[in-house]
Each structure stands twice: as C-alpha cells, then as structure tokens.
C-alpha cells in the first residue's frame, strides 16, 4: 500500500469559488503547522507524554484538512498511546508530519 499524500481537496470543497478564503485558510495552515510541529518535537524531547498528546490532538485535525485520513487514524491511535506514556508510534507520526511539511512548501 502506498503512502497517502496531502492534497487540497477538502479545502477546495470548503472554499468553493472563494479564492480569497482559500488563500487565507492556507496562510493560517502554513503559519500554524510549523509552530505546532516545533512544539511537538520539544515535548517529545522532554518526554512529556501529556503535552505531546495535546499537540498530537491539535495536529491531527490538520491531517483531515489535508485529506490524510490514514494519517488521522495514526494520530488518533498515537494520542491514545501517549495517554499511557507510550511514544512508540512516533516514527509513523513523524512520517505524516514530514509529508505535510514537504507539501506545504509546494503550495
């Protein structure tokens, strides 16, 4: 099975013909994502499972916005695991974050 790739399908449906809305939405997404990704890495390095789970919760909604439905499921499972102090899903989660980071640079 190939890795799903981020896309703008959801944002296009949401914005319809309103290009200004779409651009504003994308600007917010591009502004928030790097900050939340940085917060995630910091909380991970500090071993703070509770804070990491909160950030994963915030980030997972961006996965849906970018049509990463498998990524969203990974985030849901990872968030649950973090509530028990289990960081083992980090590599899978990072794979999704890396795809988003690369994609946002192209749009």
Asked if residue 31 belongs to a domain, the reply is yes
Domain count, the chain: 1
The structure tokens 């961006």 sit at 62
Asked if residue 1 belongs to a domain, the reply is no
What pLDDT digit, counting tens, does each position of 28-39 carry?
999 999 999 999
Asked if residue 83 belongs to a domain, the reply is yes
Q: Quick check: pTM over 0.75?
A: yes
What pLDDT digit, counting tens, does each position of 35-80 carry?
999 999 999 999 999 999 999 999 999 999 999 999 999 999 999 9
Asked if residue 65 belongs to a domain, the reply is yes
Tell me the residue range of the domain where 21 lies: 9-104
- 84: exposed, middle or buried (C-beta count within 10 Å: 0-12, 13-18, 19+)? exposed
Asked if residue 4 belongs to a domain, the reply is no
Asked if residue 93 belongs to a domain, the reply is yes
Asked if residue 2 belongs to a domain, the reply is no
């Amino acid at each position: 099975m190939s890795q799903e790739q981020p896309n703008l399908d959801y944002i296009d449906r949401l914005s319809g013909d309103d290009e200004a809305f779409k651009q504003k939405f994308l600007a917010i997404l591009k502004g928030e994502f790097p900050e939340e990704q940085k917060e995630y890495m910091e909380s991970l390095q500090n071993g703070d499972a509770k804070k990491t789970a909160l950030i994963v919760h915030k980030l997972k909604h961006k996965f849906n916005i970018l049509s990463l439905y498998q990524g969203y499921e990974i985030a849901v499972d990872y968030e649950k695991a973090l509530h028990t102090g289990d960081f083992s899903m980090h590599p899978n989660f990072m794979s999704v974050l890396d795809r988003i980071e690369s994609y946002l640079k192209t749009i």
